[in-house]
Structure 1
């Protein structure tokens, strides 16, 4: 087999494996959730201006939809605005926060973290250049408290949703308890049908288009109001480990190419 054919086959395997893994910064979309917050492009970054309680917006991606919570390798975002203008540890100083849609194949719910929780704040890293970033893998999230929203019986400190019942824990949950839940957003028709989903759910206002992973800005209360100067963010990342069977199939595809090339040579 020629060197060029071997190189082509190897590159094909590498490309297949890259597709199997989630992409970084590939497809994040800024969208309004409620009450018309302002979203401004600023070069490669995006500004989310939350001026009053009730306004909400998000930066959403389906890059790792289909992966499990326990397969998350990097959920990242960088703040480029001056976070020191807010009280240390407050919502706008440590936001945005995560909303992750999950499903059991029939039901959907949103898992939310609490960045204002002191246990979570050490994960907001000062980059030493005036910016701060989250870069979270499952190990970072596993022991952190998670709230379940946007489903029947959901809400702050809820204990009796389908998520709780699925894992057999009718009490406080951590991300680690939910490692086997699949990331995935409901359809617009599912959202429009109610199903315990409120107006603050991470979905586009009017269209109800939703994304599996969302960095959220704003809230029902004033705890995430940015003021006239918004949250300026960029470098958004969503990555997850591919399923072992998917990696195996990609490898087999590459081996098939090598075998076909060898047969042509020997024919």
Structure 2
């Protein structure tokens, strides 16, 4: 009886754990979004697996992108993090490069796409910075959410005006790969520069640089590591493993009767 109970408790623990958090942390890919002044931002690998992104002038833009949780709701983000390695004290307190990178998410209603972004230079967001970010959706929920990269915002709540992330929680994170261009899609959208013909992109993006010089890092650049995101919705594979655990526990109980 004691062993049967242990089997059921083990299986229950698997379901509970997998149901709360997707196990695997997402892998992020560095990519160039846009050149500035005829030159692209430099992307360098650092010892230990970190990445350096050097933004030397306005217009340059690059990102770390992940599509590992594409298909989940924006409100189902469990944890979203990145660590800064460079000395942020070289920048003015509260400035873009002192509290960067910033976030871009591609969201969709199944037909339309847009980018929803935070603005880390916003005073309400700055307390979340601690040599990088370690966020949950609860941290984002009451923060201002800005809409970009679509001229038509009629499909969004309040036509995209005055929104918080909570207002967009039920929209799906999804990169618009192989989707024809639409009105309002600009060169600053988080799309791989070399993949413009197919809109090659990622659903979740940590972004470096901007149209203006407000996110110029100089050289050395932004040095980051441990970019990760997960979802509160379990992966199908994880659920299958949990179900198998329950079935095995049930079979063991039946055989010992």
Q: TM-score, normalised by structure 2?
A: 0.84
For structure 1, the residue ranges without an aligned partner over 5 or more in a row are: 126-131, 154-160
Report if aligned partners of 1:13, 1:253 keep a CA contact under 8 Å in 2.
Answer: no
Bigger shift: 109-118 or 240-249?
240-249
Q: State yes or no: 1:218 paired with 2:186.
A: no
Report if aligned partners of 1:90, 1:223 keep a CA contact under 8 Å in 2.
Answer: yes
1:60-99 matches, within 5 Å, as 60-99=65-104
1:97-116 matches, within 5 Å, as 97-116=102-121
Deviation for aligned residue 1:254: 2.6
Q: State yes or no: 1:232 paired with 2:232.
A: no
Count of aligned pairs: 248
Deviation for aligned residue 1:221: 0.6
Task: Give RMSD over aligned pairs.
Answer: 3.2
**Alpha-carbon spacing, 1:122–1:228, altered in 2? closer, same or farther (3 Å):** same
Match for residue 40 of structure 1? 44
Match for residue 255 of structure 1? 246
**Alpha-carbon spacing, 1:26–1:245, altered in 2? closer, same or farther (3 Å):** closer
Match for residue 158 of structure 1? none
**Alpha-carbon spacing, 1:246–1:142, altered in 2? closer, same or farther (3 Å):** farther
Distance in 2 (alpha carbons) for counterparts of 1:252 and 1:133: 37
**Alpha-carbon spacing, 1:15–1:34, altered in 2? closer, same or farther (3 Å):** farther
Which structure 1 residue ranges, 4+ long, deviate > 2 Å from structure 2? 9-26, 167-171, 192-196, 243-254, 256-263
**Alpha-carbon spacing, 1:85–1:23, altered in 2? closer, same or farther (3 Å):** farther
For structure 2, the residue ranges without an aligned partner over 5 or more in a row are: none
Report if aligned partners of 1:60, 1:211 keep a CA contact under 8 Å in 2.
Answer: yes
Match for residue 129 of structure 1? none
Distance in 2 (alpha carbons) for counterparts of 1:233 and 1:92: 12
Match for residue 194 of structure 1? 182
Deviation for aligned residue 1:194: 3.4
Q: State yes or no: 1:134 paired with 2:124.
A: no
Q: Secondary structure at the match of 1:217?
A: strand
1:156-175 matches, within 5 Å, as 161-164=153-156, 167-168=157-158, 171-175=161-165
Residue-by-residue CA offset, 1:114-164 (whole Å, 9 max, x unaligned): 000111100002xxxxxx0211111111111111011124xxxxxxx0453
